[in-house]
Amino acid sequence: MNKKNEEISNLTLSQVEELRKENRDREIAFSAALTLSSTGHIGPFPTEITLTYKNVFTNIGNAYNPITGVFTAPLKGAYMFRISATGNGPTAASVFISKNGEHVVIAHGYQTQGVLNSSNGVVLILEVGDVVYVRLGSGTRISDSYNNHNSFSGYLLFPLREDDVCRM
């Protein structure tokens, strides 16, 4: 332990700044809500649509695009994603986290009347350039307001080296 402390105390200011820069490249996190200020429904549509979460709370690393609703992995790593969905019965609310065009997990709610809520999350191993986004299920509807009931968030848990092999 003393040796490690001695190594740290011997770092030059430029070395400390270099370590900060290296870690800054690994700072990736975003959180966004569906709408900026409006109240209303989205859906139902006859086919799935990609949702665009326009009310961005955090976008460290600028990997989330609020115009397209797509997160693009800037580096290989393990990422955590969360979604929440709110709707009103009797129409179901279904939103999917999708990776590169494939559904991964769903947040789904249904009841004959009243407000319904659902959420889900997943850890994904992403390569540089992989995309993650949320799709609204066909024939389903979500409801939002200035209270930000529907959200999409993600962050880098830890980076992986190019030679790291993922086991399933």
Residue 118 lies inside a defined structural domain of this protein? yes
CB distance 98 to 135 below 8 Å:
yes
Please give the structure tokens belonging to residue 50.
């990609």
Residue 1 lies in a domain: no
Cα–Cα distance for residue pair 31/60, rounded to 1 Å:
9
Q: What is the pLDDT of residues 35-56, one digit of tens each?
A: 877 778 899 999 999 999 999 9
Residue 87 lies in a domain: yes
Closest CA to 54 of 42, 68, 40: 68
Whether 75 maps to a domain, the answer reads yes
Q: Considering the chain, what is the average pLDDT of its residues? A: 87
Question: What's the number of domains the chain is made of?
Answer: 1
pLDDT in tens, 81-127: 999 999 998 999 999 999 999 999 999 999 899 899 999 999 999 99
pTM: 0.83
Bridge partner list, 156:
79
53 part of a folded domain: yes
List the domain range (segments joined by +) for residue 135. Answer: 28-159
Task: Spell out the residues 6+ positions from residue 5 whose beta carbon is closer than 8 angstroms to its own.
Answer: none
In a domain, 21, yes or no: no
Tokens matching residue 144 = 């939002």
Where residue 120 sits, what CATH number does that domain have? 2.60.120.40
Residue 45 lies inside a defined structural domain of this protein = yes
Asked if 73 and 129 count as a contact pair (C-beta separation under 8 A), the reply is yes
Residue 103 included in any domain: yes
